[in-house]
């Protein structure tokens, strides 16, 4: 997809030349990214060394964490969002809907959860997407699998987990995040709750519009990647800084055994407490993962932390309020209950296994 030669055949000479230019500039920028990224540790040491703080104090620990993590997270996020922006230019909700329409439950749930990772989705589009899916014949449970996976298992969450905590945790989150979306959607489908949609939604017989595909060139796709960076990083940077500040405070000041006691694996109630606390907290992966990193560093149990993170991201009050336009309160309660139970199961499983 990044090969300009594919595009050259049917483009006038000027455009293919500029496609080569765009691709080379992109590769150069990515090389510069890696060079800069490898120098972050010495850079942050140097920066914190300038401050008049004793090297072994709590404040020093906190500042060092902050000075290293902030550029690291923002750089990682920019690269991942850029690459994912290019991948997403190959998908659209309309195309995903065409794939899912008429699919059986089960297979449909698995497909929907996986497509939720790569399909461009923003919460402002959640209602049109929900109606668009359901009225075009995508089963309710399959639609829910998509709606649960899309915000929970995304490139921001996976990329930051990979960069900050490690690939094992990132893979674990991927599998169990998809698992929760698949099973919760399947359960909601089995419960046959179509009658619990708002009445006006049931009356809509829009069907699926035949939206013509727009031809995208290599340059268009790179532009979409850049646009995604501008949009997403521009929106979440404040959350990242707040998250890292909270993480830095935990890192520098919270005694290690306190976290192990509160969020440790010995107490059964820590997992449900983490889920309940996570619901009203509205953040996204970018803000919560630096906190998660610090919590794990202080001995919090993995299952409890994963449950907390999934709850913050997947069960958010603002999204439920948006969905209230199409779902009755009863259906939202079932949705929250089923997803919450799935997250609880993941939390308990991990605290038992690890």
Partner 1 sequence: MKNIKVLGPGCKRCDALVKMVEEEAAAANIPVTVEKVTDYAEIAQYGIASTPGLVVDGNVVHAGGLPKPENVRQWLAA
Per CB under 8 A, residues contacting partner 1 are: 92-94, 96-97, 120-122, 124-125, 127-129, 131-133, 135-136, 200, 204, 206-212, 214, 220, 325-326
Q: Specify the residue, 58 or 95, whose C-beta has the smaller distance to partner 1.
A: 95
Instruction: For residues 314 and 245, give the distance between their C-alpha atoms in angstroms, rounded to a whole number.
Output: 23
Query: What is the smallest separation between the CB atom of 166 and partner 1, expressed in angstroms?
Result: 34
Query: What is the smallest separation between the CB atom of 134 and partner 1, expressed in angstroms?
Result: 9
Query: What is the smallest separation between the CB atom of 75 and partner 1, expressed in angstroms?
Result: 25
- The dihedral through the CA atoms of 33, 38, 41, 44 has a sign that is negative
Show Cβ contacts of residue 339 under 8 Å, excluding neighbours closer than 6 positions. 148, 180, 184, 314, 315
Question: Per-residue b/e over 190-221, b at no fewer than 16 CB within 10 Å?
Answer: eeebeebbeeebeeeeeeeeeeeeeeebbbeb
Query: What is the smallest separation between the CB atom of 27 and partner 1, expressed in angstroms?
Result: 24
Q: Specify the residue, 129 or 193, whose C-beta has the smaller distance to partner 1.
A: 129
Q: Specify the residue, 47 or 208, whose C-beta has the smaller distance to partner 1.
A: 208
Q: Specify the residue, 18 or 341, whose C-beta has the smaller distance to partner 1.
A: 18
Enter the tokens of residue 346.
Answer: 């993941």
* Residue where the block lists tokens 């959607």: 185
Q: Residue 35 burial by CB count (10 A; 0-12/13-18/19+): exposed, middle or buried?
A: exposed
Q: What are phi and psi of 48, to 5 degrees?
A: -70, -30
Query: What is the smallest separation between the CB atom of 144 and partner 1, expressed in angstroms?
Result: 15
The answer to whether the beta carbons of residues 196 and 327 sit under 8 Å apart is yes
Instruction: For residues 115 and 32, give the distance between their C-alpha atoms in angstroms, rounded to a whole number.
Output: 32
Query: What is the smallest separation between the CB atom of 257 and partner 1, expressed in angstroms?
Result: 47
Q: Specify the residue, 61 or 319, whose C-beta has the smaller distance to partner 1.
A: 319
Q: Specify the residue, 11 or 249, whose C-beta has the smaller distance to partner 1.
A: 11
Show Cβ contacts of residue 294 under 8 Å, excluding neighbours closer than 6 positions. 65, 246, 247, 248, 250, 251, 254
Q: Specify the residue, 123 or 341, whose C-beta has the smaller distance to partner 1.
A: 123
Instruction: For residues 279 and 314, give the distance between their C-alpha atoms in angstroms, rounded to a whole number.
Output: 8
Query: What is the smallest separation between the CB atom of 83 and partner 1, expressed in angstroms?
Result: 18
Q: Specify the residue, 210 or 266, whose C-beta has the smaller distance to partner 1.
A: 210
Query: What is the smallest separation between the CB atom of 13 and partner 1, expressed in angstroms?
Result: 19
Q: Give alpha helix (H) positions in the chain.
A: 5-8, 13-38, 40-49, 58-88, 93-100, 107-118, 126-135, 140-152, 155-164, 167-190, 199-203, 218-253, 256-262, 270-278, 285-297, 302-314, 317-323, 329-353
Q: Residue 2 burial by CB count (10 A; 0-12/13-18/19+): exposed, middle or buried?
A: exposed
Q: Specify the residue, 121 or 144, whose C-beta has the smaller distance to partner 1.
A: 121
């Amino acid at each position: 997809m990044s090969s300009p030669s594919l595009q050259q055949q049917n483009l006038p000479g000027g455009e293919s030349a500029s496609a080569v230019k765009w691709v080379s500039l992109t590769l150069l920028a990515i090389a510069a990214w890696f060079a800069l990224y490898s120098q972050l540790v010495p850079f942050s040491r140097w920066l914190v060394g300038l401050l008049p703080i004793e090297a072994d104090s709590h404040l020093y620990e906190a500042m060092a964490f902050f000075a290293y993590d902030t550029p690291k997270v923002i750089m990682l996020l920019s690269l991942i969002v850029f690459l994912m922006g290019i991948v997403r230019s190959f998908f659209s909700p309309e195309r995903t809907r065409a794939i899912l329409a008429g699919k059986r439950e089960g297979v449909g749930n698995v497909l929907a959860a996986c497509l939720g990772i790569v399909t461009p989705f923003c919460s402002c589009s959640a209602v049109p997407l929900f109606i668009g899916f359901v009225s075009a014949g995508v089963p309710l449970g399959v639609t829910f699998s998509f709606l649960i996976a899309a915000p929970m298992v995304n490139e921001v969450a996976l990329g930051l987990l990979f960069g900050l905590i490690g690939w094992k945790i990132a893979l674990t989150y991927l599998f169990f995040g998809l698992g929760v979306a698949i099973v919760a959607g399947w359960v909601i489908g089995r419960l046959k709750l179509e009658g619990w949609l708002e009445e006006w939604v049931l009356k809509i017989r829009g069907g699926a519009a035949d939206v013509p595909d727009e031809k995208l060139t290599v340059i268009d796709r790179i532009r979409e990647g850049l646009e995604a960076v501008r949009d997403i990083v521009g929106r979440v940077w404040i959350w990242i800084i707040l998250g890292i500040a909270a993480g830095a405070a935990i890192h520098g000041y919270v005694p290690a055994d306190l976290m192990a006691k509160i969020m440790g694996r010995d107490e059964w109630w820590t997992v449900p407490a983490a889920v309940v606390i996570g619901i009203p907290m509205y953040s996204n992966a970018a803000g919560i993962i630096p906190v998660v990193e610090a919590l794990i560093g202080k001995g919090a149990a993995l299952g409890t932390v994963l449950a907390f993170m999934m709850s913050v991201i997947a069960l958010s009050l603002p999204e439920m309020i948006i969905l209230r336009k199409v779902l009755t309160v009863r259906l939202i309660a079932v949705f929250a209950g089923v997803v919450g139970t799935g997250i609880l199961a993941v939390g308990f499983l991990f605290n038992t296994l690890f």
